[in-house]
Structure 1
Amino acid sequence: MFNLILFGPPGSGKGTQSANITDTYQLQHVSTGDLLRDEVSRKTPLGVEAKKYMDQGLLVPDEVVIGMISSKIDDTPEARGFIFDGFPRTKAQAEALDKLLEFKNTEIHLVLALEVPEVELIKRLVGRGATSGRSDDNEEVIVKRIKEYHAKTEPVAGYYFAQGKLERIKGDGTIDETFKLLSKEVDKYLLPA
C-alpha cells in the first residue's frame, strides 16, 4: 500500500491535483475538506460543529478528523493506497496520522508540497468563493487561513523533511505542468495503474 500526502496552502491546487493523481495511480482520495463539507451540507452534528470552526477560518479538532480517516481506510481494505489531501495540517496531526497508519501496518511514503505565491493564492480563492459559495469566499477570511497555514501547517513540511519524505513542487504553473512535476515524484514509488 502506497500512501501520499499532497500538501500546500489553501488555493494551491490540492483538490485538482489529487483528482489527477487518484485517476492516474488508482489511489483512494482522502480529502478531509470534502469529508467535512459533506457533513456540513447534511447538517449532521459533526457538520454543525465543524462549520463553526470553518466559518472562522479555524481548523476542525484533530480527533474528529483522525476518526474520519480511520473509518475511510477501514471501509476500503482493497485500496492500492491513499492520497491525503488537506491533512495533516499540524505536526500533532502528522504524528497522529503516523500512529494510525502504523497501527494499520502501513506508513506515509511521500509528501508533495505545492508552493504557490500568496498573491496567486488569494486570487484563486476569491474566484473559487464567488462560484462555489464556500465559507472562505472573502479576502479577510482567506488571508486569515493563509496566515494560519504558515503558522501551524508549514511545520508539517519540516516534520516530513526530517524523515526524508518531503518534495517541494512549484505549483503556480498550469494544471498539466504541475501534474507532470508531481507525477515525476510519484513514479519513483508507484507506476500509473
Structure 2
Amino acid sequence: MRLLIMGPQGVGKGTQAALLSEHYEIPAISTGDIFRYNIKNQTELGKEALAYTDKGELVPDELTNKIVKDRLAMDDAKNGWILDGYPRNASQVAALDVMLEELGVELDAVVALEADRDVLMERMQKRAAEQGRSDDTPEVIAKRLETYEKETAPLLNIYRERGLLLAFDGVGDIDEISKTIIEKLNEKRAD
C-alpha cells in the first residue's frame, strides 16, 4: 500500500499515519519529522531547514524532493509507505510522479483529512504548549494554514481527477476515523 495523507496542519495526519502504518505494516514517512530530526541534530540540512521553519516558511522543494526520494528508496519502504506532508505543491506532485515511475510503483490512494480552521488553530496551540515547539506560534500557524489553502489544497483536485482521493472528517474519535479510513482503503484496493 502506497498512500499520501493530506490535510492542513493540526488535522491529525500524523496520528492517522501512525495508525495506518501499524495496520498495514508500512512506514509512515513525515517530512516534518525528517526536518525536525535534522534540526535537533544540527545537521547541515537541519540548519538550512531551521532558517525557513522559524519564520513559518516551508523548506524549499529541492531539499524536500531529495529527502523524500532517498527515503522512498530505503529497504523498509519496498512494500509500501505513507507519505505525510508531501507533496505540498504542484511541482512536488510532478516530482513525486517521476520518483514513483523511477521506482516502478504506483500510488494506491490519497487520504485527505479535513477540519474547520478554528479547530486547527486550537489543536496546534495546544500542541505548541505541550511540546514546546518554537514553530507553533499563532502567527506562524496562521501563515501555514494560509499557505496550505493556497498551495496544497488545490492538489486534492489533481488526485480526485486521477480517482485516488478519499476524503474524511478529521474531527472525532481517533479510532473511529482510523477504522473508517481502513474500510475505505480496503474497498478501494478490492476494486
Do the aligned partners of 2:114 and 2:167 also contact (CA within 8 Å) in 1? yes
Cα distance per residue 1:93-117 (max 9 Å; x no partner) = 1111111111110121100100011
Give the Cα–Cα distance (whole angstroms) in 1 for the partners of residues 88 and 134 of structure 2. Answer: 19
Aligned to 1:167: 166
Counterpart residue identity of residue 19, structure 1: A
Cα distance per residue 1:116-161 (max 9 Å; x no partner) = 1111100000000011122332211111110111011111101111
Give the Cα–Cα distance (whole angstroms) in 1 for the partners of residues 76 and 116 of structure 2. Answer: 38
Give the Cα–Cα distance (whole angstroms) in 2 for the partners of residues 86 and 95 of structure 1. Answer: 15
TM-score by length of 1: 0.93
Give the Cα–Cα distance (whole angstroms) in 1 for the partners of residues 133 and 106 of structure 2. Answer: 32
Do the aligned partners of 1:28 and 1:80 also contact (CA within 8 Å) in 2? no
What is the number of residues matched between the two proteins? 190
Structure 2: 5+ residue runs without aligned partners?
Answer: none
Correspondence 1:3-14 to 2 at 5 A:
3-14=2-13
Structure 1: 5+ residue runs without aligned partners?
Answer: none
Give the Cα–Cα distance (whole angstroms) in 1 for the partners of residues 9 and 132 of structure 2. Answer: 16
Identity of counterpart residues, as a percentage? Answer: 38
Correspondence 1:144-155 to 2 at 5 A:
144-155=143-154
Aligned to 2:15: 16
Aligned to 2:36: 37
Aligned to 1:98: 97
SS in 2 for 1:113: strand
Give the Cα–Cα distance (whole angstroms) in 2 for the partners of residues 183 and 77 of structure 1. Answer: 21
Give the Cα–Cα distance (whole angstroms) in 1 for the partners of residues 189 and 56 of structure 2. Answer: 35
TM-score by length of 2: 0.94
**Cα distance 1:77–1:175, how it changes in 2: closer, same or farther (>3 A)?**
closer
Do the aligned partners of 1:129 and 1:137 also contact (CA within 8 Å) in 2? yes
